[in-house]
Chain A
């Protein structure tokens, strides 16, 4: 049940290209600030490469820390794109239209941000290509395909390529519009190259739509594989009790959707505020994503509960010691409480109220909470998992992140924000043609005495058809 405002094509073009054709006042300072943060992070990275990983807080036994937690977090965020654009596209949910591109673009940037940290955290980053490419042809040594670290780049790489292609295919009609509107010849030339000669002929439209549907269908396996494989980075290790769990793959996937869809709701609120797109992203859209989030969050919480049940059910002493560390010992206990409260206890009951779901500000607040909680979730899996009290008391250790690690983690957040802002300056963040398609589908036509919508694609309420327009 969605309220609907019919807008003319001209107005859609004007509204949605405003961010591209003009420069908002806050844009330049924001980009400058984020650029500075990214540069600081890169500086920290090169400092780390120059001096060695000794500048981090990592030690024995905590060989992975902030970097890997951050990696898992960003891969989780990247599930937004596939959830919104592929699944909602294939199920023909009409409310997806204004947010598909923002979600997909965020997917691309968050995947790149996710790739930052594992590449940066290795001991010899300059040799990292050997990791992914065949190591040495002359000696016949290939990457070890038994290692989840070889599955990782293939899954993430597939996802990155598919998402980039998807973004690009969906951009073609909009780039063509920009090409026609560009004033400077050089800008026009660039857009013309990017548009691949898209002129809006029926054949081109057909190919564009078929490509979009194919890509969203083909990318579906990735929906399951990417985060499963990320979870196997942990689950394959028999020696780490907290990680060695068969429920990790579905648990990680549902957690990824939880944080990803929340991030999309954040993006929606931000685009309403920053670009004034309240005509396109309406309370209805927030309502729809809020309903989706209730389901996702509750499922996630169920898996989280199961993970604990399975762990405690074994009654093995290392497992119990780990759980005690995670939930009851300083400094993890307050973080654990914060994680549960922010990821589930505050947001989900709030989403049950329609007023909350329909308010951009409250949705922004709750989804920010979810993402704080989900970052902590990854932290609480990875670090206490390694800090755990093993049988061998000589190897007990703890972990404090160094300033370098914190700077690099902050850098990934700034990187994604910067990428989104730059993208919004060059290309529209809301797909023009998709919105127009929605408008055309809902256009009312007269058949005899009746006035009915041009196409019926989604369950509109009965009275919509009955009403005399």
Chain B
């Protein structure tokens, strides 16, 4: 057990099959409005986690590459200092949090985010009558005119920390109540969630192993110095030599 938490994620691109299970899980956990075809055509669809699919190689030797991209919870986030009303800020658990009630919708943060993982509610979100009862009571339903983004399912983190404190239990690494919805939904274990401050957690070990010389680990757009809390593990390929670990 450690004093302060620093939540983070390890994404093994090699394991990702591009099944979009995480996207659906996130959509239902976090009360994200249904993305209709028109929303995609307007380029205003909201997907806190998305699978980007890239083609590699020339026909007939074509490979599909999948990479899940969610908020990277940067330690040095470009979106945070630009918000005039402190609607987005860094909390002491390493999360980049969004306070919906404060947001006035300048969209400055969305322009600043190099990963394009901040979403603006251009329209009032709507659900079909039949789906209204499945809204998650732990998550705010956002109104129009504000930004939203992946929170690492902060409601699940809060609930499990609270409950473990109440029951005097130690919060287990990889607890399914703690894990974000996408991590629980990932069939191939491509997403691993945990506490980077805890040296014994799976993510810490994976990070340590992967980030050393010759490891598979990398951060998205590391050159920008955003110090992200999401570590990606490279695809394993015949052409790429891996000397270490996972």
Contacts and interface: CB of A to CB of B under 8 A. Distances in A.
B84 A144 contact: yes
A128 B105 CA distance: 9
Given A54-B123, A238-B78, A238-B114, 14 more contacts: A59-B44, A63-B111, A63-B120, A130-B85, A131-B84, A135-B85, A135-B102, A146-B81, A147-B108, A149-B82, A149-B83, A390-B114, A394-B69, A395-B116
23 contacts: A54-B122, A59-B42, A59-B44, A60-B116, A61-B111, A63-B110, A64-B107, A123-B144, A123-B147, A124-B103, A124-B146, A127-B104, A144-B83, A148-B108, A236-B81, A237-B78, A238-B224, A239-B111, A239-B113, A240-B112, A392-B115, A394-B52, A394-B69
B148 to A, nearest CB: 11
Nearest to A393: B54
B78 A54 contact: no
A150 interface: yes
Interface of A: 51-54, 58-61, 63-64, 118, 121-124, 127-128, 130-131, 135, 141-144, 146-150, 233, 236-240, 386, 390-395, 397
A131 B43 contact: no
A123 B121 contact: yes
B174 to A, nearest CB: 29
Contacts of A149: 82-84, 106, 108
Contacts of A54: 42, 44, 122-123, 144
Nearest to B81: A146
Contacts of B224: 238-239
Contacts of A236: 81-82, 112
Contact of B85 (A143, A237, A239): A143
B221 interface: yes
A123 B85 contact: no
Contact of A147 (B82, B111, B124): B82
* Among A124, A141, A393: residue with most chain B CB under 10 A: A124
B78 A239 contact: yes
Contacts, number: 140
Contacts of A144: 81, 83-86
Contact of A148 (B82, B103, B146): B82
* Contact residues of B: prevailing secondary structure: loop
Contacts of B221: 239, 391
B123 A147 contact: no
B105 A53 contact: yes
Contacts of A394: 50, 52-53, 69
A319 B143 CA distance: 36
Contacts of B85: 130-131, 135, 143-144
Contacts of A395: 116
A392 B52 contact: yes
* 6 A-B pairs with the lowest CB-CB distances in the bound complex, closest first: A123-B105, A123-B145, A239-B114, A59-B43, A149-B84, A54-B122
Contacts of A233: 108
A240 B221 CA distance: 12
B82 A130 contact: no
A58 B145 CA distance: 12
B38 to A, nearest CB: 10
Given A143-B84, A239-B224, A63 B107 contact: yes
Contacts of A143: 84-86
Given A130-B102, A135-B102, A391-B221, A60 B119 contact: yes
